[in-house]
Amino acid sequence: MDEVRAQVADARERGEPLGLATVLVGDDPGSRKYVDMKQRESTELGIESHDVRLAGDISQERLEDELRRLGDRTDVDAVLVQYPLPRGLDYMRALLTIDPVKDVDGLHPVNLGLLAAGEPRIVPGTPRGILDLLQWHGVDLAAKRVVVVGRGLTVGRPLSVLLSSKRDDANATVTVVHTGSRPDDLRAAVEQAEVVIGAAGSPGLIQPEWLVDEPVIVAAGVSFPEGKAVSDFAPGCRERASAWTPTTGGVGPMTRAWLFVNVTNCRRLRQA
């Protein structure tokens, strides 16, 4: 983060502060909490943050107009649309109205496509943060059997691509399981894995007895069934793991750190 701080300070000194716009549609408490945190932390860093909150019953067209307006602003380097959008709104169509160089979450098809092609440009923050977390804690992923539980847009899908990429901090053998998998295959995949990543948002889905050989477990998937954060790993999993991330304060801070790195990446790309 020191590098980000330095770049933010440098841009401010030159009178061209970095600008991040967050767009929250509707009033989902979880999404609101995430956006509040991103707003607070970006302001603390010295990034100019633009906090756009829209009613949950906004039309697709009005949402896209708003995003185009942010896209045209020269003081906005990066635009984040909080995922998921309320029912009835199309997230991908909304993203397509943003210039890919302002797509700070790295979820625009151009950025996801570059990731899949092995030429990553703006990488989604949660997958990127998980890779860092594993590397910093000495988990060498090369040739490891990794299972990702979930194939969602923000975590499972890009993470599985990143983990299997030919790069020094990845190069893993990756299995992806999802609701279309046979329940027995979910269990079998976890039993064989050396690293298990929960990215489902299904509370307590992964059972302790499935963790056979003390794998590393990463709790990215979090849900709030009674207002309290619950991970995809059932109680008792940590005791059977060689290393684990906490449900809160593990992957989340890494996600936000990469959000801010990506703001600087957006600025660099805009100026290129």
| Minimal distance, residue 242 CB to ligand NAP, in Å | 21
Nearer to ligand NAP, 98 or 219 (CB): 219
CA dihedral of 154, 157, 160, 161, whole degrees rounded to 10: -100
Shortest Å distance, C-beta 40 to ligand NAP:
15
Closer to ligand NAP by Cβ: residue 106 or 201: 201
> Which residue has the closest beta carbon to ligand NAP?
152
- Closest distance to ligand NAP from the beta carbon of 15 (Å): 33
Q: Which residues bind ligand NAP (CB under 6 A)?
A: 83, 126, 149-156, 177-180, 199-202, 205, 220-223, 251-252, 255
Give dist(CA 99, CA 35) in Å, integer: 21
Buried b (16+ CB within 10 A) or exposed e, 210-230: bbeeebbbbbbbbbeeeeebb
For ligand NAP, the closer of residues 215 and 221 by Cβ is 221
Closer CB to ligand NAP, 195 or 251, in the complex: 251
Least Å from the CB of residue 93 to ligand NAP? 16
Q: Is the dihedral of CA 5, 10, 14, 18 positive or negative?
A: negative
Tell me how far, at minimum, the Cβ of 115 lies from ligand NAP, in Å.
15
Residue whose CB is less far from ligand NAP, 100 or 150: 150
Q: Which is closer to ligand NAP, CB of 48 or CB of 105? A: 105
Q: Which two tokens stand for residue 143?
A: 């040739």
Q: Which is nearer to ligand NAP, 149 or 172 (CB)?
A: 149
Find the shortest distance in angstroms from Cβ 270 to ligand NAP: 25
- Cβ 6 to ligand NAP shortest distance, Å: 25
